[in-house]
């Protein structure tokens, strides 16, 4: 251990704790009177917060060990927590804890943490976030229908026909409106074929130019062929500051920033899940992307 590593770890833990509980008083290198020992005990990080008429006292001890803290370390710290009558004891060690230490801490209702922080220091981590990406793609096929006894010139791409309301307001092409509604999640997204979905919401008919300069009423429908692809992988985190709970496996933090997600790399390297297949571990983040082809 370098000369001041222990102090740097204490300051890091104090910084993390302050970010998690900004309303609390977080004091580094505090002294608290021991009721049984009748002497002042040194506390690496002391957290005090008033809840109603009660003052909560939390003692945090930091261990920069090369190996995991064992059950003896838990028992020694438990004695100090009891001596100062703290409401909660927290042990922090970047190297983790033995199974016996975790078992004993659970019975003592003591928290065991590792720091999770991406700033530049000895204990910097490069964490990733388990995530699911769902890509829901839809192929669009348009149908036009008119009952007016008038000639109608229709191109191969009927989705490109410009439509107007009965009052002459420009509404946009069927493809523009359908693509917009798909991207905004207004169309069905379950895999399969969804036929004859009205394109223009609230309008049974719209007006189009029949190719001879006359506006005629028609109805537009779209059929959607929906396909879903699901991928599981890990997203790198550029910034996070918190604690990993050694007993639950959960990370305690107020915020995090993900790195850039390369979709091409994701397609090549992430695990593709078949329909109904569960990911190997529970994802923290699920992202759904809607695509049209």
The reply to whether 244 falls in a domain is: no
pLDDT at residue 262 in the model: 85
pLDDT for the residue numbered 3? 64
Same domain, 107 and 172: no
Identify whether residues 107 and 133 lie together within a single domain. no
Number of domains in the chain: 2
Q: Looking at the domain assignment, is residue 243 inside a domain? A: no
Residue 81 lies in a domain: yes
* pTM attached to this predicted model: 0.73
Which of helix, strand or coil describes residue 20?
Answer: helix
Q: Are residues 158 and 83 in the same domain?
A: no
Q: Is 53 helix (H, G, I), strand (E, B) or coil?
A: coil
Q: Give the distance from CA 61 to its chain's centroid.
A: 30
DSSP state of 201: T
Q: Are residues 76 and 160 in the same domain?
A: no
Beta pairing partners, 257 = 239
Each residue's pLDDT tens digit in the chain (293 positions)?
A: 456 789 999 999 999 999 999 999 999 999 999 999 999 999 999 999 998 888 999 999 999 999 999 999 999 999 999 999 999 999 999 999 999 999 999 999 999 999 999 999 999 999 999 999 999 999 999 999 988 888 888 888 899 999 999 999 999 999 999 999 999 999 999 999 999 999 999 999 999 999 999 999 999 999 999 999 999 999 999 999 999 999 999 999 999 999 888 888 888 999 999 988 999 999 999 998 888 76
For residues 240 and 198, what is the distance between their CA atoms, to the nearest angstrom?
A: 46
Do the domain assignments include residue 88?
yes
- At which of 117, 145, 174 does a domain end? 117
Q: Which residues contact 67 (CB under 8 A, 6 or more apart)?
A: 95
Residue 67 sits in a domain whose CATH number is: 3.40.1350.10
Structure token digits, residue 65: 């060990």
- Residue 179: per-residue pLDDT: 94
Indicate whether 245 belongs to any domain: no
In a domain, 177, yes or no: yes
Q: Considering 83, 117, 151, which residue would you say is the last residue of a domain?
A: 117
| Nearest CA among 203, 107, 217, 196 for reference residue 143 | 196
150 and 78, same domain (yes or no): no
Which range of residues forms the domain containing residue 22?
A: 5-117
User: Of 86, 117, 148, which residue is a domain's last?
Assistant: 117
Q: How far apart are the C-alpha atoms of 284 and 242, rounded to whole Å?
A: 16
Same domain? 200 vs 76: no
- Tell me, yes or no, whether 105 and 146 share the same domain: no
Phi, psi of 126 (to 5 degrees): -125, 75
Task: Note whether 40 and 106 are same-domain residues.
Answer: yes
Q: Are 30 and 69 found together in one domain?
A: yes
Q: Tell me: do 281 and 166 sit in the same domain.
A: yes
Q: Which residues pair with 133 in a beta bridge?
A: 231, 287
Do both 160 and 91 map to the same domain? Answer: no
28 membership: H or E segment, kind and range? strand 25-33
Examine residue 89 and state whether it is found in any structural domain, yes or no.
Answer: yes
Say if 253 falls within a structural domain: no
Triad 225, 231, 237: Cα angle to 5°: 135
Same domain, 134 and 270: yes
């Amino acid at each position: 251990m370098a000369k001041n590593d222990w102090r740097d770890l204490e300051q890091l833990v104090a910084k993390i704790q302050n970010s998690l509980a900004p309303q609390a008083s977080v004091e580094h290198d505090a002294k608290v009177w021991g009721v049984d020992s009748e002497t002042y005990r040194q506390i690496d990080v002391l957290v005090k917060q008033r809840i109603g008429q009660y003052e909560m006292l939390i003692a945090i001890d930091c261990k920069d060990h090369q190996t995991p803290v064992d059950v003896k370390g838990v028992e020694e710290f438990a004695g100090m927590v009891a001596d100062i009558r703290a409401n909660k004891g927290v042990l922090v060690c970047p190297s983790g804890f033995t199974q016996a230490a975790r078992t004993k801490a659970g019975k003592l209702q003591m928290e065991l943490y590792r720091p999770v922080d991406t700033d530049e220091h000895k204990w910097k981590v490069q964490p990733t976030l388990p995530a699911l990406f769902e890509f829901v793609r839809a192929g669009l096929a348009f149908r036009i229908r008119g009952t007016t006894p008038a000639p109608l010139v229709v191109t191969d791409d009927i989705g490109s026909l410009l439509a107007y309301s009965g009052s002459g307001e420009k509404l946009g092409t069927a493809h523009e409106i359908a693509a917009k509604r798909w991207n905004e999640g207004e169309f069905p997204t379950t895999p399969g074929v969804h036929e004859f979905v009205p394109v223009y919401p609230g309008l049974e008919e719209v007006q189009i130019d029949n190719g001879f300069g006359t506006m005629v009423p028609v109805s537009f429908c779209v059929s959607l062929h929906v396909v879903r692809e699901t991928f599981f992988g890990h997203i790198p985190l550029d910034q996070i500051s918190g604690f990993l709970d050694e007993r639950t496996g959960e990370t305690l933090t107020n915020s995090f920033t993900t790195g850039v997600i390369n979709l091409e790399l994701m397609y090549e390297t992430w695990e593709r899940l078949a329909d109904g297949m569960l990911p190997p571990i529970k994802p923290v983040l699920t992202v759904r992307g809607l695509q049209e082809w």
